[in-house]
Amino acid sequence: MRELLAAGVPFASITFLHGPSGGKTLVFARGSLAGSCGLPDVDRDLAERAGSLLEGDRGADVVEAGHAAFVDVLRPPPRLLIFGAGDDARPLAALAAAAGFEITVIDHRPAYLTAERFPPPLRLALRRPSDGVAGLPLGISRKNFAVVQTHSLAHDRDWLRSLAGQPLAYLGLLGPRSRRELVLRALDWNGVDLFAPVGLDIGADGPEQVAVSIVAELLAVNARREPTHLRARAGGIHG
């Protein structure tokens, strides 16, 4: 199971609660079921139910498929790629990592990409915008998030051009609306929905507070939530 998560593959662990198969665990990933309870019809039913859970946002459920089974969905962490290793990228990388994202920081300047500035387990990728995104951790097996904040109009434009056709759950651009218009006008943009200015409106001022607003927006998108005050939410806060 650890190998699946390390490879970025979400899967469901299916454990029978009672009966002749009590305690037995099956694993469902990529449309296939590893193991069997000995009843093909039950196996197929469980695979369908596990597949439905994997496609949604729920983490676990108890299902009845001839035998009661607990289905626990395990997903690899979402990835965040930060384009630009300036000083404002440091609090963003640290906070996003603490919030559960797997971080890669990309920049063309070796002096900015150091373990002192971005300590492990943060990943570093030395490349220019003209190198494109080939080889960066952008796979369809998990949710990918990207924030472009190079502080260079030309570099922002080139990175956005490379990212336009990638499997992204979120693409953000740091800077005011005027910067966004300048960049997109040069691109004739028809890519994914762009979050620009990046972040939630919480009155953020300074790199640390801006990082909070960005990570809050990332979490909201990842959870498919429309941000609001919890006191205004009807029902449970985790549902």
For the domain spanning 79-222, the CATH number is: 3.40.50.720
pLDDT above 80 (res 93) = yes
Look up residue 70 and give its two tokens. Answer: 């607990």
Q: Please report, for the chain, the start and end positions of each structural domain, with discontinuous segments joined by +.
A: 2-74, 79-222
Residues 99-150: tens digit of each pLDDT:
999 999 999 999 999 999 999 999 999 999 999 999 898 876 678 999 999 9
pLDDT above 90 (res 203) = yes
Q: Which residues of 143-164 are buried (b: 16+ CB within 10 A; e: fewer)?
A: bbbbbbbbeeeebbbbbbbbbe
Predicted pLDDT of residue 36: 79
pLDDT above 90 (res 154) = yes
pTM for the predicted model, two decimal places: 0.83
Band (33; pLDDT cuts 50, 70, 90): confident
